[in-house]
A and B are shown apart, each in its own frame.
Chain A
Amino acid sequence: DIQMTQSPSSLSASVGDRVTISCRASQSINTYLHWYQHKPGKAPRLLIYAASNLQSGVPSRFSGSGSGTDFALTISSLQPEDFATYYCQQSYDLPRTFGQGTKVEIK
């Protein structure tokens, strides 16, 4: 199975901060990498697909980068509604696997 490792596991940040979350795959997955935002009691929300493509309706402060084994999700200016847990997920091979999540908390 392809292991997905996110870092950090959690972070504290202030509104307006630039935040970057990393995701590393245990083998090359090309750009078969997606990012989701998850808030308690809500359905997960697709933010970025295929490593760097912004899903329709997602604010442009979110961006994704990377290919192969190393990826990043960046929030350029953190907003109050962005406090949530973020997951990366690979769709290169079965079984599909998620990272363990990065919880973004208010400083």
Chain B
Amino acid sequence: EVQLVESGGDFVQPGGSLRLSCAASGLTFSNYVMGWVRQAPGKGLEWVSAITGSGDPTTYADSVKGRLIISRDNSKNTLFLQMNSLRAEDTALYYCAKVDSTSGRLGAFDIWGQGTVVTVSS
């Protein structure tokens, strides 16, 4: 069974940094595009970033470009999100998700973790 488990969420002050992790199991991790999606309190889902199986290229939402950095360690089956210069509007539940690379499935997120909470406040 494929599983994704996020960790690293915390309470941090504006301007601070945090690194989220997503541990994957039950799959050949390096074969898959992975992404981060967040949900701010009372809001809907927002796509944040994605990374190919090899680690390059990476893509970002405009709202996080230059502040959040996605990376992965395929030897440890782990996805990361380095969060710098955090703002109150980054407060959210952060999910990691796997992209289904099967032909014809057109890039849907087929597996999601349970999420980790980031709170940015003074």
| Residues of A in contact with B (beta carbons under 8 Å apart) | 1, 31-32, 34, 36, 38, 42-46, 49-50, 53, 55, 85, 87, 89, 91, 94-101
Contacts and interface: CB of A to CB of B under 8 A. Distances in A.
A53 B106 CA distance: 11
A46 to B, nearest CB: 5
A63 B39 CA distance: 25
15 contacts: A31-B106, A36-B45, A44-B45, A46-B108, A49-B105, A50-B108, A95-B60, A95-B61, A95-B62, A96-B50, A96-B107, A97-B47, A98-B44, A98-B45, A100-B44
A50 B106 contact: yes
Interface stretch (B9-17, B23-31, B75-83, B111-119): B111-119
Nearest to B39: A38
A45 B46 contact: no
B59 interface: yes
Contacts of B108: 34, 46, 49-50, 55, 89, 91
A87 B109 CA distance: 12
Contacts of A42: 114
Given A31-B106, A32-B107, A49 B47 contact: no
B106 A32 contact: yes
Nearest to B112: A43
Contacts of B113: 43
Interface in B56-87: 59-62
A31 B106 CA distance: 8
Contacts of B50: 96
